[in-house]
Amino acid sequence: MPLFYSQFAQKLTNSKNSSQSRFILIFIPIIIVIMMMKFASFLLVMVSLNAMAQKTDTTFIAQLMLKHPDLFAGVLNHPQKNQIQVLYTQIDRDARHKPVFKTYSYNLDDHRYFYPASTVKLAAVIFALEKVNELKIAGFTAKSTMITDSSYTAQTKVLGDSTAKNGLPSIEHYIKKILLTSDNDAFNRLFEFIGRAEINSKLKKYGFNNSRILNRLAIGDAGETAKHTNPIKFYNGDKLVYSQAEQYDPKEYVLSLTNTVMGTGYLDSTDKLVNKPFNLENKNAFSISDQQAMMRKLIYPEAFPIKERFNLTPADYKLIYTYMSKLPTESDYPAYDPKEFWPTYAKMLYYGRDKDAQIDSNIRIFNKYGDSYGFIIDNSYFVDFKNNIEFFLTAVVQSNEDGIFNDNKYEYDTVCFPFMKNLGRTIYAHELERKRKSVPDLKKFRMKYN
């Protein structure tokens, strides 16, 4: 024991209350030992976290792209101009066949803002199903008919859905529409069901600390209107099973972000040019790291402690896996015109936006993409059942040569889509050559699409 304790013990020994002294002498060392153990545990955790942070390789992806100047020279010459960020994670197996992740990044910066567009819809899908499970109301399921009312400025009602087999809206059907073709109205209805406060509380709960979801999409929702959500009722047939009143969220969700002001001008709501930089400071945010972390937790919940997993049932996982990987042309309800929504419509990484792309039947891509304001984002999990390959790949790229936003003049076809296609195929080609110690069991990802 330290000198100060020896001196303190001597004083207690000489004190008049010997029984009290003995009690103190016995328990103080125990308390000191416990405190030292806790401090040691704290140091161990910090060392472990530091080791985890060091696992992300920041050079490999750049080296891989440099080997293919014909594919990547245009964007590699100015990655900041195109606001590129890439996160690639290899998956191997430990002795118990559990997945082990090794991550590589390119130009990653969780505080450098990009507009996440429809990628935020994946959070709404997960949190909507979680809310159904957490409410624990008899008879209330994701299949229950969802009737949305209105109670505030600019809100709209939903009484039916002609794309559903029974002609009625439901959480489950909205999820299908989100994952198949990124339907905006479907996201807005889940946003209203979950509530803005709960969405952002869940993001923090699961450690997605560089993200926020503030508003509905594609309807000019912002400011006060975004803080109000509609009243909703759920039915099984004619029986009311759950009624949710309108909600109001007064909170602001401030993040430490750079690059929230972009370009040299923008078109306002009347298509008039405003010669000021475009401000995205109060928009949704969903960092590349958070996007892939959400995907990993969704695809491999068993790789995380139970308390960190999403509150989803096996049926929930099956629903999400099926419609994340299903092609629009494989869907009957909702059904899509193949000219508007061709098979690879949603699979930016690997197929770009090539309407005539030849589909590799061995590959399934479980993903959620986004595109807006010149940004193309895709958050994906790849599976090749023939070659026993799997990996995570998340990326963003942007092109806006004239610096004007809201003018629908972005270089999607010449810069963004080719980059995403080439990146996905380059990583896939590397995975084909990469040796693994054990063959992964991928059967849980074989979905039935008919």
- Looking at the fold, whether 66 and 41 belong to one and the same domain comes out as no
Structural domain includes residue 301:
yes
- Looking at the fold, whether 31 and 159 belong to one and the same domain comes out as no
When the pLDDT of each residue in the chain is averaged and rounded to a whole number, the result is 91
- Looking at the fold, whether 19 and 102 belong to one and the same domain comes out as no
- Looking at the fold, whether 173 and 36 belong to one and the same domain comes out as no
pLDDT digits (tens, 9 = 90+) for 160-173: 999 999 999 999 99
Question: What is the rounded average pLDDT of the residues 180-186?
Answer: 98
- Looking at the fold, whether 178 and 256 belong to one and the same domain comes out as yes
- Looking at the fold, whether 385 and 261 belong to one and the same domain comes out as yes
Structural domain includes residue 137:
yes
- Looking at the fold, whether 81 and 14 belong to one and the same domain comes out as no
- Looking at the fold, whether 46 and 91 belong to one and the same domain comes out as no
Task: Judge if the upstream peptide bond of residue 334 is cis by omega within 30 degrees of 0.
Answer: yes
pLDDT digits (tens, 9 = 90+) for 240-296: 999 999 999 999 999 999 999 999 999 999 999 999 999 999 999 999 999 999 999
- Looking at the fold, whether 42 and 62 belong to one and the same domain comes out as no
Q: What is the signed CA dihedral for 118, 120, 122, 124, rounded to 10 degrees?
A: -120
- Is 450 exposed, middle or buried, given 0-12, 13-18 or 19+ CB atoms closer than 10 A? exposed
What is the reported pLDDT for 28? 52
pLDDT digits (tens, 9 = 90+) for 42-57: 433 343 333 334 468 9
Structural domain includes residue 450:
no
- Looking at the fold, whether 61 and 29 belong to one and the same domain comes out as no
Count of domains forming the chain:
2
pLDDT digits (tens, 9 = 90+) for 114-146: 999 999 999 999 999 999 999 999 999 999 999
Question: What is the rounded average pLDDT of the residues 333-362?
Answer: 96
Backbone phi, psi, residue 363, to 5°:
-105, 135
End-to-end, the C-alpha distance of the chain in Å comes to 72
pTM: 0.88
What is the reported pLDDT for 151? 97
pLDDT digits (tens, 9 = 90+) for 189-234: 999 999 999 999 999 999 999 999 999 999 999 999 999 999 999 9
Percent of the chain with pLDDT over 70: 88
pLDDT-derived band at 448 (thresholds 50, 70, 90) equals very high
What is the reported pLDDT for 75? 87
At residue 18, does pLDDT exceed 60? no
Structural domain includes residue 204:
yes
Structural domain includes residue 127:
yes
At residue 297, does pLDDT exceed 90? yes
Percent of the chain with pLDDT over 90: 84
What is the reported pLDDT for 22? 52
- Looking at the fold, whether 73 and 44 belong to one and the same domain comes out as no
What is the reported pLDDT for 76? 87
Give, in order, the Cα–Cα distances in Å from 72 to each of 61, 68, 75, 82, 426. 11, 6, 6, 12, 10
What is the reported pLDDT for 7? 52
Domain boundary residue among 13, 28, 51? 51
| Residue 33 structural domain | 3-51
Structural domain includes residue 61:
yes
- Looking at the fold, whether 320 and 221 belong to one and the same domain comes out as yes
pLDDT-derived band at 8 (thresholds 50, 70, 90) equals very low
What is the reported pLDDT for 95? 84
Q: For the domain that residue 299 is a member of, what is the CATH number?
A: 3.40.710.10
Structural domain includes residue 297:
yes
8 A C-beta contact, residue 350 and residue 425: yes
Helices (H), 95-222: 121-135, 171-181, 184-194, 196-205
